[in-house]
Amino acid sequence: MLKFIGVGDLLNQELLNTSAYIKDENKILIIDCGVMSFKRMIDLKIFEDVENVYIAITHMHPDHIGGLGSLIFYLNCKNIKPYIIFPKEDEEQKQAIVNFLFLQGVVSDRFYLIADVETVIFSNMLAFSYKTIKHNETLKSFAIEMSFVDKRIYYLGDNNDEKYQKSVLKKLGENDVVYTDCCGDNGVHHINLKKLAEIYDEKIRKQVCCMHFISDENIIKAKNLGFCVAVMEQSKEEYLKRIVSHNN
């Protein structure tokens, strides 16, 4: 259901920064906008036919928010004033985003701010909320929980939070999907694949989509364990180029 602009970690130049979106009619919800994500959004032409842009930020690391200022300026040039969603219960996070943008000259009349619980973006969406998750001592990170008519999506900003993952597992319905960052065995700020495999039984791993990859090895390991793996979207031009080279 989610499409991916990038699927890499902070420094992954090939897979870019992890960022995703959902589009319905003339509305788009973007989750995170890292330094390397902004240009890719333009290349993929994701704003074609879009009138309303909603942006949800999971946390303040540069691979999740570094491109937000540029994105807002870009949208303003297209006469779009985007909605930035903040956690209603967390004034600190709201202020952090506003200050971050202000310091870049992105003043508050360039965007709307809306609280998560008041956010129902699409006609088939029932609820949207942020939950605080464990990631890093110096920064707060959030998971985004979205209920749709037929499924729930749990999108975890960077995390190493077994407790939250287990709470999600307990309520996971058969149509629901979990999106989570992951890492190799030695990670501290991201949940490692061994831990994920302990939490999610083999038959449920197809509903758990790994993302935020540090390397290709990371992807192969996730696949071999039976997890779903987030794949970067291709532009129409890239897709056609691939077909041509394949046919040759």
Query: What is the C-alpha to C-alpha distance for residues 111 and 114, in angstroms, rounded to an integer?
Result: 10
The closest of 115, 79, 80, 81 to 97, measured between CA atoms, is 115
* Interface segment toward Zn ion; rule CB under 5 A; list 55-63, 70-78, 79-87, 123-131: 55-63
Over the range 13-37, which residues count as b (16 or more CB within 10 Å of their CB) and which as e? Answer: eebbbbbbbbbeeebbbbbbbbbbb
Residue closer to Zn ion by CB (options 17, 207) is: 17
For the bound state, the minimum distance from the C-beta of residue 158 to Zn ion, rounded and expressed in Å, comes to: 3
Q: Please count the CA atoms within 13 angstroms of the CA of 115 that sit on its side-chain side.
A: 7
DSSP H stretches of helix in 114-171:
162-171
Residue closer to Zn ion by CB (options 139, 172) is: 139
Residue with tokens 């942020």: 130
Strands 83-86 vs 52-56: parallel, antiparallel or unpaired = parallel
Residue closer to Zn ion by CB (options 69, 157) is: 157
* Interface segment toward Zn ion; rule CB under 5 A; list 96-104, 156-164, 191-199, 240-248: 156-164
* Interface segment toward Zn ion; rule CB under 5 A; list 44-52, 65-73, 151-159, 171-179: 151-159
| DSSP 8-state assignment for residue 46 | T
Please select the residue that binds Zn ion; options are 30, 31, 44, 63, rule is CB under 5 A. 63
Please select the residue that binds Zn ion; options are 40, 61, 140, 152, rule is CB under 5 A. 61
Residue closer to Zn ion by CB (options 19, 121) is: 19
For the bound state, the minimum distance from the C-beta of residue 62 to Zn ion, rounded and expressed in Å, comes to: 8
For the bound state, the minimum distance from the C-beta of residue 33 to Zn ion, rounded and expressed in Å, comes to: 12
Binding of residue 161 to Zn ion (CB under 5 A): no
For the bound state, the minimum distance from the C-beta of residue 141 to Zn ion, rounded and expressed in Å, comes to: 6
* Interface segment toward Zn ion; rule CB under 5 A; list 22-30, 46-54, 63-71, 84-92: 63-71
Query: What is the C-alpha to C-alpha distance for residues 58 and 34, in angstroms, rounded to an integer?
Result: 11
Distances (CA, A) of 70 to 38, 66, 76, 110, 120: 7, 9, 10, 12, 25
Residue closer to Zn ion by CB (options 176, 180) is: 180
Which tokens is 87 given?
């956690």
Residue closer to Zn ion by CB (options 63, 176) is: 63
Angle (CA) 38 143 138, round 5°: 80
For the bound state, the minimum distance from the C-beta of residue 137 to Zn ion, rounded and expressed in Å, comes to: 12
Tell me, by CB under 5 A, how many residues bind Zn ion. Answer: 3
Binding of residue 158 to Zn ion (CB under 5 A): yes
Q: State the residues that interact with Zn ion by CB under 5 A.
A: 61, 63, 158
